[in-house]
């Protein structure tokens, strides 16, 4: 693939570096959900479709599903989405600033979550699992709102159902760059989940979650530099 074509997949005049950064954020999302599902009692903090299903299982009394943590994640996600909507409104015409600020808040929330899990071996108590699920869900709800406002095609960073649908349904009509971007999104989520699962199983919950805020902090630092230079992609976040 020519260098110019490869570059168009992750950057360009319309969205600048946002596609590349959102792909990295997608991997972080996979990692966080791996920790929540495997370590907090089968609860999703990024994928509310899955979390609603798990909540139904928990209400039915199915073993292994944490009702309190699922409810905490659902409530936290809504709080985060609400806060993300307010942040998106205040940064409506500063896309780089929007993603930078959202990632910074996420970093803080996830670092607090890591701190709560330090020293925990095995499955955390119901109260601790619920607290961590709520904090992580606030972070991912905020991310979801911010990314939605950015309006970068095929890069939601949290849900892949429509991405996978697009890969199959539009394979004959979409350009190679579109299909490749969608495939990269799936691959990054898979990679993040894989790394998260390996770390949960071998290093403990705190160490498994730690890479996510580290990655988000790197995104913050990149954007802190990038937004200093005005560019067309920074203006006019999508509604």
- Residue 102 pLDDT: 97
Of 108, 139, 96, the closest CA to residue 237 belongs to 96
Torsion-angle region of 86 (φ positive above 0: left; ψ -120 to 50: alpha; else: beta): alpha
Residue 151 backbone class (left: φ over 0; alpha: ψ -120 to 50; beta: rest): left
pLDDT for residue 239: 47
Place of tokens 């990269």: 184
| Per-residue pLDDT, 12 | 60
Question: What are the 10-residue block averages of pLDDT along the chain, 239 residues in total?
Answer: 44 81 96 95 92 93 92 97 94 89 98 95 91 97 94 87 81 77 92 97 95 97 92 71
Residue 10 confidence (pLDDT): 55
Could you tell me the sign of the dihedral formed by the alpha carbons of 182, 43, 49, 153, in that order?
negative
pTM of the model as a whole: 0.90
Domain range list for the chain:
16-228
Q: Which residue has the tokens 């890591």?
A: 114
CATH architecture of the domain 16-228 equals Up-down Bundle (1.20)
pLDDT score at 77 = 97
Tell me if 28 sits within 8 A of 53, measured CB to CB: no
pLDDT at position 159: 84
* pLDDT for the residue 9: 54
């Amino acid at each position: 693939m020519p260098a110019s074509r490869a570059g168009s997949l992750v950057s360009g005049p319309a969205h600048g570096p946002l596609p590349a950064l959102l792909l990295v954020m997608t991997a972080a999302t996979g990692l966080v959900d791996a920790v929540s599902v495997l370590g907090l009692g089968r609860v999703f903090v990024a994928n509310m479709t899955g979390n609603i299903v798990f909540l139904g299982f928990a209400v039915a009394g199915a073993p292994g599903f944490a009702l309190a943590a699922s409810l905490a994640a659902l409530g936290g996600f809504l709080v985060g989405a609400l806060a993300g909507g307010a942040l998106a409104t205040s940064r409506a015409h500063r896309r780089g600033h929007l993603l930078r600020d959202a990632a910074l808040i996420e970093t803080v929330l996830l670092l607090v979550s890591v701190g709560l899990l330090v020293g925990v071996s095995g499955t955390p108590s119901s109260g601790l699992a619920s607290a961590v699920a709520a904090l992580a869900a606030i972070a991912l709800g905020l991310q979801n709102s911010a990314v939605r406002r950015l309006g970068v095609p095929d890069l939601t960073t949290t849900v892949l159902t429509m991405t996978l649908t697009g890969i199959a349904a539009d394979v004959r009509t979409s350009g190679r760059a579109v299909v490749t971007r969608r495939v990269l999104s799936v691959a990054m989520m898979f990679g993040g989940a894989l790394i998260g699962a390996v770390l949960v199983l071998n290093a403990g919950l705190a160490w498994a979650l730690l890479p996510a805020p580290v990655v988000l902090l790197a995104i913050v630092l990149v954007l802190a530099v990038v937004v200093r230079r005005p560019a067309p992609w920074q203006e006019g976040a999508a509604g």
